[in-house]
Structure 1
Amino acid sequence: MSSEFFKETHPELKRLGIEIPEMEKRYPTLMRMGISHDDMIYLARRISPLLQGSRDILDIGCGNCLIATLIAKLISSKIFVIDEWKEMSVDTAKRNASIDKVELEIGEMKQDQGLPYKDNHFDAVYSVMFLFNVPKERRDLLLEETRRVLTQDGKFVVVDNFIFRGKMKRELTSHGFQQLWYGEENAFSFFLLKNVKST
């Protein structure tokens, strides 16, 4: 860590012992996600324990990659991130990962296509403020693809605005996910699900 430890760092990052220089400048908030830097730090802190011990982890709709960067630091893990990169460039994401010394494997989602990963590749997948911001047809495809790339009994964590909680539960369970836990905090819904694959 730098000799000027966290001189201009967010207080919560300082408390967690994480250094992200010029966080607000390098990780602009995205209209699509509609959440602040404070929210992103809070969500990364809440999601991390649910992912601890997972071998391969995928972030679907990673946005500015700040949540993935924080999770990678909190659990000392490589994170696969994927987005359509309309609001932030892949080059910026790579540059930020290099500055922050995290291992992010960056992928690109293409409209109306599946996820570019092999079957049963991930032990855990998570998505924050993304799935319920895309049209239902696209969401259905992404949920089916999530099941495909997750291992049997793999974990799926979904975080979104709590006002969609009923709709989210119906859709997630109708796509073959079993709910293990649900919680509401700070106007967010947290779903922890298990991938139940037919044999």
Structure 2
Amino acid sequence: METHEELDAVLADLGDLLAAAAHTPAGAVTPCTDFDFATLRQHVVGWMSAFTEGFSADDHQCGDAEAVVVVGDGSDQVCDLRARLAQVLPAAAEHPVRIGDAEMPGGMSLSMILWEYQVHGWDLARAAGMDWRPAESGVNESLRFAPTMLTPDYQGEGKTFAPAVDVANDAPAIDRLVAMSGRDPKWSA
């Protein structure tokens, strides 16, 4: 599958996850140490909305992720945004998106979003005591992409991403991806 198809599948799973996790307390701790459950859900829905605007707008400018208000459990918003994205994702790699004053190539932004929603889906699922197993083909794509973003400038103590966690080379792909992204695959609420 192409990156936009992998992303569509992850977003479908994310909508289902948010609906199933509707009763998770807002303040539940997540493996993403900067965010509790409600804050991480807002981050995910907010940035999904922002990127949907960027991929859809003529000027390719992303919206304000922080201004997005999550309605209920957010699952309906994710489903609506996924439907909007389905119309523009096939061509999204062809043009850059603008985040503030910065530009990111469309293909790179698709890969980054795929990786982000796989990992944040895992964060939300773990906080809710649920399992998260996105398609291995998409996770393998993110295992190839993530090292391009996980540079010493961004990963380490006190940085955006915690240091990588050691896991076995034959661990499941999602475990290797979250470990590479600074999470312990054995984390539980």
Q: TM-score, normalised by structure 1?
A: 0.33
> Using CA pairs below 8 Å that are at least 6 residues apart, which structure has the higher relative contact order?
2
Structure richer in strand, relative to its length: 1
